[in-house]
Structure 1
C-alpha cells in the first residue's frame, strides 16, 4: 500500500498533515500547498484559469485571491463575436497567443449586438428595446442599464466607458452618442445628459485617464475633459492643443493610455491600414509623434472597438508571442498589432476606472 504524507499550510484545514491512501482515491490535489498551487496557476493561460478555478473550493480560493495579478500577467487575446442573430443567443470566442480557444454562448443575448468593450465587459445593446447589458466573459459578472434615450436603430458611432464613483460607491456607465454625453448610475434605471456649451457632434471616443474622462475632436484634435464632482455633476472643458498634424483622411480615431502618457491613434483612409501614433505633451499641450526606442510599448488596435497601449512588464518574451508589425511614425517606429475582429485585454479585466471627484 502506497502512502503519501502532505504538509498542509492552509489555515482552512485544521490538521497540519494528512495521510492519504493513494491506491483507493489517488492523490488529493485539493490539499496541495497554496504556494505550489499559485505557482502552477501563474503558468496557465486565461482559458485554463477558468477551468482551474472550478476544480474545488481550495483551488477556487487561490484563483480568486490572486486573480488580479494573474490577469495582469497575461497578454491580449483575439476576440471574435459573430453577427447579431434575432432568434439565437450570441456566441463568442477568445483565442490566446498559443492558439488555444475559449468558446461559449452569451445567454439571453438574442437580438443584441456588441458595441464595445470596457474594463473587461462586453457591451451588448438590444436594438428592439434599446437596453444595455454588460457581460464579463471571464468572471461571468453582468451589469444592466436602462433603455437609451435615442432612436432604437442607432448603434454606430457609440463610444462608452465604465467608471466607479467613490462618492456613491457605484459604477457609472458613460456614453457618447447622438452628439451628446450621457451617463447612467448602476441600479438607478435612468440616463442623465451632460450639459455643455458646445456641440459634441465632432467628438469621437471616450477614454479614462488619471480619473478623468476624455473625448477627442477629430477636426482639430482638441481634447474635451469631463470632470465629475462628488454630487456627480459633470463639467465639460475644452483643452486646446497645438495642431501639428496634416489634414489626413481619418477613418479610425481612438485615445489610449499607458502609465503617465496619453496617446492618439488613427488610421489613414478606410483600406490603407496605415496607422499613426501621437503622444500628448501636457506641458506644451501639443500632439507629438510617438517614437518607441525600446521594447516598452505595443499598440493593440481594434478598428471597430476598444484599443489599448500595453507595456508588457509581466509577460515572458513579450513580443515573440505576436507577429512583428512595425509602422513608421514621425521618423521612428511603433509596434502596432491591428485586428479586424477585436482584442480582449485580460490585464484590464479586473481593473476599475476610478473617478477623481476632488473638484
Structure 2
C-alpha cells in the first residue's frame, strides 16, 4: 500500500466514524479499521456491539491452515491465518459462541486438549479432552467472582453428556439410566438455561446443581407435527426459543416456536422482518433483516448453506409439509367474527386446533371462540393403538391420528376416559411408585396421581372450588364393594367400604350439578359425600312402570340439565332411557328425545347431545348412536319404530386395542365442578 499521512484522521469524531462504518464496512473491514491507530482502536472497542448487531451472518469455510469468511450479500471473501500451534497440530470440528473448536489431529492421548479460538479477538480457551466420544460442544459463561466458562460435550449417537469448567481439569459425566435411553440431538443456551432436544423429540433443561441431571418439560406437539421426518435443531433470536425441522428427502423446512405459557410447539408461518440462517450440522440462528444497514435483502425466508459444494439456498416461502404454498400476508388480520363463521360451518375439531397454530392472530381467535365452537361440534369416536390415538367422525367420515408423548406411550396403557382426559396406567406390575396419568389429547395438559391401593376399573375426575386449583379423582371397581378418593394436592387415597349385610357395588358414577351421583348394583341411586367423612346416601327413588332394572347394563348420562339412566339389554341391541324426576323422586321412561340424541359407548363415554347445535350437518335426532365393540362398527337405533342401522364408515379403523368410546368436544374443556358445601 502507498504510505499516507494519518495526521488528523485519528481525531475524527467517533459518531462520524460509526456512520461511515455501518454503511460501508464489512465485519473484517471493521476489525482492520481498529488496527490502524490508537484512536480508531478506541472507537472500534466502543462501538463494537452496535456495529456487530447491524451486520448479517457470514459463511465460514475451512482449509488446513486458514479459515475463510464469505459474505453472500457483498460477495466478498476474506482469509485469516490460524496461529501456528493450532494449524499444525489441530483440526477444526465445530463452532460455539463465536469460538472455533479445535481438537488434536493425532490419536487421543491423556494430555489431548480442546482448543477454543475466537477468530477476531484471538482469545483462546483450553480444556482437557472429554473421556467419552463427542461430536458437539456448547460453551457458556458462569456468573462467578472470577470469570469462568463451562463446556458441555455430547455425542448425538450416545445416551450421555459431559461437563467441564474452565477452572477444573476433570469432566463430569451423566448417563441416561432409563430403559430406552434417549440421546441429545441438539442443545442451546437460552435466557440463562441450557435447553436440550432429545432423540425422542422432547425438550428439557440441563441442570448443573446439586448434581448433573436433565428435567424433561411437559411440552405438547402441535397439530401435524411430525418430529421423526428429518433433522431438528434448536435456534433462538434471544427472545424466543424455536426448533427447525428439516426433511431428509427434500429442502423443505418447518419452524416451531415454543410457547412457554401453554407449553406447546406452535408452527411459524411468518418470520416478519426476520430470516433463519440454517447450517448443515451447526451454526444456525435468526437475524432481524432491518438491522442491516445499507443492504436490501429478502426477509421472511430461510438461508441454508449447502454441503461441501459450497452452495447456498434461499427458501422464500414457508409452508407446512403437505400443504400448498400460499401467501399468508393479510390472512392473520381477518376479523374474528368472520373466522368463526367459516370455522363452524366447514371445520372439524382437529381442523380448528390446526387453525389456532397458524399465527398469533388466529391463535387469539381460537382461544376466544373455543367454547362456542366446541359446543357446535358432534361427538367423535376414539380408537386406540399402541403409540397413537385416532379420532373418527362418523358424520364427516374423516380420520385423525394424534401421537402420544413418548413417556406415556412407552410405559403406560390407556384404560379409560373422564372429562376430556385419557387415563393411562403403568404397563408393568403394580409398584409403590406406580402412577395414574391423565392426558388431555388436545391441550396436552397432564395430571398425575399415585395409583389407588385397591383394584379399580373406572375413574371419575372433578374439580374442587378452592383458592388453589384442585382436582379430585374417584376410583372404583364395578365388582368390589368399595371406592377410593384422592385429591391432586395429596398423595394418599381415602377408602370407603360398604358395611352392610349384602354389600352392593358401584356400577356407574357421574358429576351432576355439583354432586357425585352413583348407581349401585342393586339399581339404586345415591349421592357420594366427601365431608365430614366419606359416605354414600341412597336416595328414596321409586321405579317407574314396566321398569326392569335387572335385564341388562345400566349407565348414568346427562345433558347438563337432566339426570338420566340408559338400560341396555344383554340379549339384543334394545335400549331404554329413564329420566330422574327430582320432584316426585321417580324414574320416568323417555319415549322421545326431541332434538337430542344419545351417544352410547360400550363401557364408557356416553352422553346426550343437541343435534340443532351442529352447524352445517344434517343428522337424524331422537335416536341412539351406539359404538360397537372392537370390530369398530356403530349402530343407529331410532326410538320411533325401533329399527336399527349397522354401519362402518369409510376410513374407519378396522381394529382397536379395546372398546372404542365417544369423545365429546363440548365437554372436553370443562372439568365438572363439585360444591363442597353440599358434599
Q: With the length of structure 1 as denominator, give the TM-score of the two structures.
A: 0.73
Separation (CA, whole Å) in 2 of partners of 1:329 and 1:117: 29
Contact 1:226-1:234 within 8 A present in 2 as well? yes
1:339 matched to which residue of 2?
none
1:79 aligns with 2:60: yes
Paired position in structure 2 for 1:260: 239
- Which residue matches 2:509? none
* Equivalent in the alignment of 2:292: 315
Q: Kindly tell me: are residues 26 and 133 of structure 1, through their superposed partners in 2, closer, same or farther at Cα, counting changes over 3 Å?
A: closer
Task: Give 1:200 deviation, angstroms.
Answer: 5.9
- Give the CA deviation at 1:301: 0.4
What residue number does 1:133 align with? 115
Distance 1:307 1:242 in 2: 24
- Counterpart CA distance in 2 for 1:174 and 1:29 is 46
Structure 1 residues 303-350: Cα deviation after superposition (integer angstroms, max 9, x where no partner): 12221022235223453497852243336779xxxxxxxxxxxxxxxx
2:280 to 284, 290, 303: 303
Equivalent residue for 1:148?
Answer: 130
Residues 139 and 149 in structure 2, CA contact (< 8 A), matched pair in contact too:
yes
Question: How far has the Cα of 1:111 moved from its partner?
Answer: 4.9
Q: Distance in 2 between matches of 1:56 and 1:195?
A: 52
| Aligned match of 1:104 | 80
Out of 242, 251, 254, the position equivalent to 1:273 is 251
Q: Tell me: CA distance 1:182–1:76, structure 2 relative to 1, closer, same or farther (3 Å).
A: same
- 1:300 offset after TM fit, Å? 0.4
How far is the alpha carbon of 1:131 from its aligned partner? Answer: 2.3
- Give matches, 1:13-32, under 5 Å: 25=5, 27-32=7-12
Please tell me whether Structure 1 or Structure 2 has the larger radius of gyration of its CA atoms: 2
What secondary structure sits across from 2:20 in the alignment?
helix
Partner secondary structure for residue 68 of structure 1: helix
Aligned to 2:99: 121
Match of 1:34 among 14, 23, 36: 14
Following superposition, the deviation at residue 165 of structure 1 comes to 0.8
Structure 1 residue runs of 4 or more that deviate by more than 4 Å after TM superposition: 24-27, 195-200, 245-249, 320-324, 331-334
Distance in 2 (alpha carbons) for counterparts of 1:100 and 1:293: 27
SS at match of 1:71: helix
Confirm or deny: 8 A CA contact 1:214 1:225 kept in the other structure: yes
- The answer as to 2:152 corresponding to 1:170 is no
Q: Cα offset for 1:162?
A: 1.0
Unaligned 5+ segments in structure 1 are 1-23, 83-88, 335-359
Are the counterparts in 2 of residues 291 and 333 from structure 1 also a CA contact under 8 Å? no
Corresponding pairs, count:
295
Cα displacement string for residues 19-76 of structure 1 (whole angstroms, at most 9, x for unaligned residues): xxxxx95743122233323333333110111210110111111101221111111100
1:329 to 319, 335, 338: 319
CA distance in 1 between partners of 2:104 and 2:185 (Å): 22
After superposition, the Cα gap between the structure-2 partners of 1:333 and 1:161, relative to the gap in structure 1 and judged at 3 Å, is farther
- 1:249 and 1:218 mapped to 2: Cα distance? 9
Q: Distance in 2 between matches of 1:147 and 1:294?
A: 42
Give the CA deviation at 1:79.
Answer: 1.1
Q: Report Cα offsets for 1:109-132 as digits up to 9, x if no partner.
A: 335333322111111222524521
Structural RMSD (CA): 2.8
1:196-218 Cα offsets, whole Å, 9 max, x none, are 55476432011011111111123
State whether residues 186 and 233 of structure 2, in contact with CA within 8 Å, keep that contact through their aligned partners in structure 1.
Answer: yes
**Contact conserved, 2:190 with 2:238, CA < 8 A, in 1?**
no
Cα shift at 1:100:
1.6
Tell me, yes or no, if structure 1 residue 242 matches structure 2 residue 201.
no
Tell me what 1:90 maps to.
65
C-alpha change, 1:211 and 1:238, in structure 2 (3 Å) is same
Unaligned runs of 5+ in 2: 304-312, 329-679
Separation in 1 of the partners of 2:167 and 2:183?
A: 31
TM-score (normalizing by structure 2): 0.40
Partner in structure 2 of residue 349 of structure 1? none
